[in-house]
Structure 1
Amino acid sequence: MTSGHKLAQRHGVSDYKVTTSSNPVQPTGFVYVETDRYLPSPSPDLSPSDDDGKVMQKLGAWAKEPLNELSYLRRIAEGKPFDEDGHDEFAPTLLSGLVIWAPFYLPDAHFKAYIQIAQSVLGKHSWKKVVGYRYLLQGKGVDGVKEAVSNENFVANIVAVGGQGKAFDFGVDSHRDGVEVVEVLSALVEKIRKTEGGGGVKLVLNHFCKPDLSTPEWPSYSRWSAAMSGLSNDPHVYMKLSGAFNEFAPSPTPSSVQELLTTLTPYFNHLYDTFGAKRLMFASDWPVCNVGGPQGEKDGEERNWSVWRSVVKAWMDGKGLEDEEKEWIWWKTGVEAYGIEGF
């Protein structure tokens, strides 16, 4: 990501509050999900001869950007912002949970070493806000997803954090990487379940696996829907309604709620029919929703969030969902999936 990229600009809690200010009901909290920070190489340059101190040093240098993100999150959680952070001392009251990045494919000892570093950077108070971890498989192609499935460390580390009561977020890109990546996810879930201690790990899928929305009739829709049906059979798999604006490319993103619904309704309906309201959650994907957002990436900064909220609301109203079901999708599913207390 270049320094001039839209997402490289500041997006603080104060910016989020401005963005959501037009919502009839103001959010009382949010879950911060890691932002896929830069890594200089796919894996750290670790040697079997490295002692514990050397491992910690190398991991810290390699994961500098994800750890910088944790430092930023600590300042939010503790209400001690830098001037350029874009939040104030009241931000901690909105921060309901953190979903952070971790290198799940590393061997157990190195994974634990990274978690130890992350705990140190976040501090004891902020670490209590961690409700889950995320590792994105999108952009890695079907071979990359298959590699994750076959990686014993990847699976074992997911089970380990799940055993601590933390959710695991992950996502694939069936638009650009092909629909087979969604089908491979079933093998990953099955492997997690067959691992000792993996039966109850809560798994959260992002962006309904990024289907290709550039055409009204995606040729792979039937395979996507079959894969969703299979994944929904697992009672501990949750799905986020999010991230759709990016998936209309190379076609322009429709500019009206009704036009967006014309394309999205079959997907939403299928997810509702399979997962049910109690395992679907609204997620804004802010600020990424501005990339490809129907209100524009520059002038629509404060409006794309509202458009997505309006799309989800209009679908629920049109579908005739009961008020209780709507509450689950708006916030209760998120609280349940991430084990957030105080609601």
Structure 2
Amino acid sequence: MEKIDLIDAHVHLYDEENLSSLRWMDKSLPISCEHTVTEYLVQNWNQGTSRFNFKGIIYIESDVKTELSSGLEGFTPAVRELKFVIEQSVKEEGSILAIVPWAPVPLGPQILELYIDKLFEDINPRKISLIKGFRFLLQDKPDGIMVSKKFIESIKWMAKNKLVFELGIDFHRRGDGQYREVCVLFESVKNATFVIDHFGKPNLALDGFSGNLEAWKRSMYNIHETAVKNNNAVYMKLSGLFSELDKHAENISYEEIVQRATPYFEYALQTFGPARVIWGSDWPVCKLNGGETAFPLWRNLTMDILNNLEASDDEKQRVFSINAVDAYNIHVN
């Protein structure tokens, strides 16, 4: 088999100055230190690999501290975050293929446009073209927010402007309530592109595993059917499962992780299809429950599962790069 092109479709970046702006960061965490593009390349690609050709990354906003009620001033951390990522794209030219910043989606299109004008100030137009969508993380937000009128109107605005909405929800901790709201959102918006992060964050804990899997399958089926009915392009991102394990990955055998993860891979491929699943590492967050070798572990685990599922070479290429190119409308050399 020839080498597979790889686009890492879920990477977070931050330097020392940005640490205090991250909503989830704690000084005790092992990733509470600089994580730049250069650091990503050194940690994950310095040794090379016989299986893959690295093509670049897609940057996903890192959940900075923003305040919806404080106007444009409340969005300052997100603006600062983007400028840092743009600097990174200059420093390691060609490594960042797309950027998905934070956006005040619940406030409606009018505020969204004002924010984007502020976001793009003093940025080279060529670099602005890297921005392919937006994310407002929903996994920890109150019920009802994604089905509010202004939220829906913002997503319609994104669809009109051919921008992706990155959908971060949490089945593990929030149950299927958020999934039902996703279906309402999909029924309210037509012709939009969505990327569901981290398999929708299912529960991979061993206790109650089977029941959690079946409930997740039902929700995924409903989401897919609703999306198809409303002509929405929905991609499932194969990422983030280490965070849903009940133990640190180093305390679970490789074979057991494969066993737990395989049903989720299999159902995602069956339900969304090989042309609608995308690989991402969730670096450096993946290291919290996956250890320092989480990146190669997840990359190799994905390939081994795809081999076990008898995926074709074309399907593997789609998972690791082609589908990301299609979803985010990017160009790769």
Q: Is the 8 A contact 1:74 1:123 kept in 2?
A: no
Equivalent pairs: percent with the same residue?
Answer: 27
Partner of 2:193: 202
- Residue type matched to 1:32 in 2? Y
**Residues 174-218 of structure 1, C-alpha deviations (whole Å, 9 max, x = no match):** 1111233223311111112xxxxxx22111100011111112624
Partner of 1:34: 61
What is the Cα-based RMSD across aligned positions, in Å? 1.8
2:214 maps to 1:222:
yes
2:287 maps to 1:263:
no
What's the secondary structure of 2:69's corresponding residue?
A: coil
What is the number of equivalent residue pairs in this alignment?
299
Partner of 1:19: 43
Taking the aligned partners of 2:93 and 2:159, their CA distance within structure 1 comes to 25
- Residue type matched to 2:119 in 1? A
Q: Is the deviation greater in 20-29 or in 112-121?
A: 20-29
What's the secondary structure of 2:181's corresponding residue?
A: helix
What's the secondary structure of 1:92's corresponding residue?
A: coil
Q: Is the 8 A contact 2:36 2:88 kept in 1?
A: no
What's the secondary structure of 2:144's corresponding residue?
A: helix
Q: Is the 8 A contact 1:102 1:133 kept in 2?
A: yes
Q: Is the deviation greater in 182-191 or in 98-107?
A: 182-191
What's the secondary structure of 1:20's corresponding residue?
A: helix
Please state how far the C-alpha of 1:4 moved relative to its aligned partner.
Answer: 4.6
Matches within 5 A, 1:40-79: 41=67, 43-45=68-70, 58-59=71-72, 61-77=73-89, 79=90
Please state how far the C-alpha of 1:121 moved relative to its aligned partner.
Answer: 4.9
Match of residue 244, structure 2, among 243, 247, 259: 247
Structure-2 change in CA distance of 1:67 and 1:98 (3 Å):
same
Structure 2: 5+ residue runs without aligned partners?
Answer: 1-24
Q: Is the 8 A contact 1:261 1:311 kept in 2?
A: yes
User: After TM superposition, what 4+ stretches of structure 1 lie above 6 angstroms from structure 2?
Assistant: none
2:84 maps to 1:92:
no
Taking the aligned partners of 1:212 and 1:134, their CA distance within structure 2 comes to 23
Larger Rg: 1
- Residue type matched to 1:63 in 2? F
**Residues 229-261 of structure 1, C-alpha deviations (whole Å, 9 max, x = no match):** 122233511100000011013x34354432211
Matches within 5 A, 1:266-277: 266-277=263-274
2:325 maps to 1:335:
yes
Q: Is the 8 A contact 1:284 1:308 kept in 2?
A: yes
What's the secondary structure of 2:107's corresponding residue?
A: coil
What's the secondary structure of 1:63's corresponding residue?
A: helix
Q: Is the 8 A contact 2:164 2:195 kept in 1?
A: yes
Please state how far the C-alpha of 1:62 moved relative to its aligned partner.
Answer: 1.2
Partner of 2:19: none
Taking the aligned partners of 1:38 and 1:212, their CA distance within structure 2 comes to 27
Partner of 2:301: 311
Taking the aligned partners of 2:31 and 2:105, their CA distance within structure 1 comes to 25
Please state how far the C-alpha of 1:266 moved relative to its aligned partner.
Answer: 1.1
Taking the aligned partners of 2:237 and 2:262, their CA distance within structure 1 comes to 15
**Residues 46-72 of structure 1, C-alpha deviations (whole Å, 9 max, x = no match):** xxxxxxxxxxxx41x212211111110
Taking the aligned partners of 1:19 and 1:248, their CA distance within structure 2 comes to 23
Structure-2 change in CA distance of 1:110 and 1:282 (3 Å):
same
Taking the aligned partners of 2:255 and 2:43, their CA distance within structure 1 comes to 22
Partner of 1:196: none
Match of residue 155, structure 1, among 135, 152, 155: 152
Q: Is the 8 A contact 1:71 1:121 kept in 2?
A: no
Q: Is the 8 A contact 2:106 2:145 kept in 1?
A: no
2:314 maps to 1:324:
yes
Structure-2 change in CA distance of 1:314 and 1:68 (3 Å):
same
Q: Is the 8 A contact 1:212 1:218 kept in 2?
A: no
- Residue type matched to 2:301 in 1? V
Please state how far the C-alpha of 1:8 moved relative to its aligned partner.
Answer: 3.5
Structure-2 change in CA distance of 1:152 and 1:214 (3 Å):
same
What's the secondary structure of 1:213's corresponding residue?
A: coil
Which has the higher relative contact order, 1 or 2, with Cα contacts under 8 A spaced 6 or more apart?
2
What's the secondary structure of 1:320's corresponding residue?
A: coil
Partner of 2:286: 289
Taking the aligned partners of 1:258 and 1:312, their CA distance within structure 2 comes to 12
Matches within 5 A, 1:112-127: 112-127=113-128
Q: Is the 8 A contact 1:171 1:205 kept in 2?
A: yes
TM-score by length of 1: 0.82
